[in-house]
Amino acid sequence: MLSEAEKPTAEFLDVAIWRGNAKRGVFHSYKVPQLENQTILDVVSYVQRHIEPKLTYRFACRVGMCGSCAMMVNGRPMWTCRTHVDRAMRGIMRGNPLTIEPLRNLPVIKDLACDMSGFFEKWTRAEGRFHPTRTRSEAIEAISPDSDARKAANEAIECINCAVCYAACDAVTGNKHYLGPAALNRAWTLINDQRDGGRNLRLSAVSGKGGCHNCHSQQSCSNYCPNELNPTMSITGLKRETTKAALKREI
């Protein structure tokens, strides 16, 4: 039995969903029963289950943890499972449809599903891998939660790899080599991890032609991050540390 919030109202929502492939695509219009409490992912799921079974999209946890359901909603990158229709339609003039598109700055596979491989390759290129300094037979290093480095790492560590920041970034649009906010944010958390031994390797990795210095500090990443992280701040930290390392000729 449907709860009060799940009962459809008398109204229908006009939805325009981008459908296509890597080469071309167009918006298709759908009418979806409006509920009192409804997320963007609910809308997409309704279309796929009741109107267009071939609609392709990606989701998993539905609770804002897995980072797989991000899409462009009314032109803005958002996590669709935690974005309610009411919020997405705020500021949109009456009569205009709810538009849903695949994430910007990533190649489309089909409909709303993007190819994320380039996004994750950049994490590897930014040396986003942990370089252990101890073996499993050694005692675990004690890290003080009050240390400045740990606090800096904690501020940036809750990234769910949803690529919302990557889709929001104009530097990514302009420069295909640019590693992007998520990969650089990851690099910053490892720079501040006292247990990590790959500092200079990582500082070199984020100092190349697609490195942190290509960020224009426009802060769209911080503006749109669903977990309210501040990748611009992380990138600024990387610029500072790479500058120091370059002046000391360590990189």
Partner 1 sequence: MIGVRLYLAQRLSAMVMVPLVFGHLAIMIYAIRDGLSAAEILSRTQGSIFWGLFYGLFVIAAAIHASIGLRVLAHEYLKIGNTNLNLLTGLIGSGFLILGARAVIAVTL
Residues near partner 1 (CB under 8 A) are: 171, 174-175, 177, 207-211, 213-214, 239, 242-243, 246-247, 251
Q: Which residues pair with 84 in a beta bridge?
A: 39
Residue 117 beta carbon to partner 1: minimum distance, rounded to whole angstroms: 22
Both tokens of residue 20? Answer: 């296509």
CB closer to partner 1 out of 162 and 179: 179
Nearer to partner 1, 13 or 212 (CB): 212
- The least distance separating partner 1 from the CB of residue 215, rounded to whole angstroms, comes to 10
Least distance CB 188 / partner 1 (angstroms): 15
> Shortest Cβ distance from residue 108 to partner 1 (Å)?
20
Q: Tell me, what DSSP letter sits at residue 250?
A: -
Residue closer to partner 1 (CB basis): 99 or 214: 214
Q: Output DSSP code: residue 103.
A: P
In the complex, least distance from residue 125 CB atom to partner 1, rounded to whole angstroms: 14
Nearer to partner 1, 79 or 178 (CB): 178
Decide if 139 contacts 150 (C-beta within 8 A). no
Separation of alpha carbons 90 and 2, rounded Å: 26
Q: Quote the CA–CA distance of 16 and 98 in Å, as a whole number.
A: 6
C-alpha 101/C-alpha 83 separation (Å) is 15
Q: What angle do CA 235, 103, 186 make, to 5 degrees?
A: 25
CA distance 29 to 129: 43
DSSP 97: P
Inter-residue contact 182 to 169 (CB < 8 Å): no
> Whose Cβ is closer to partner 1: residue 73's or residue 251's?
251
Residue closer to partner 1, measured from CB, 48 or 243 = 243
Shortest CB 133 distance to partner 1, Å = 25
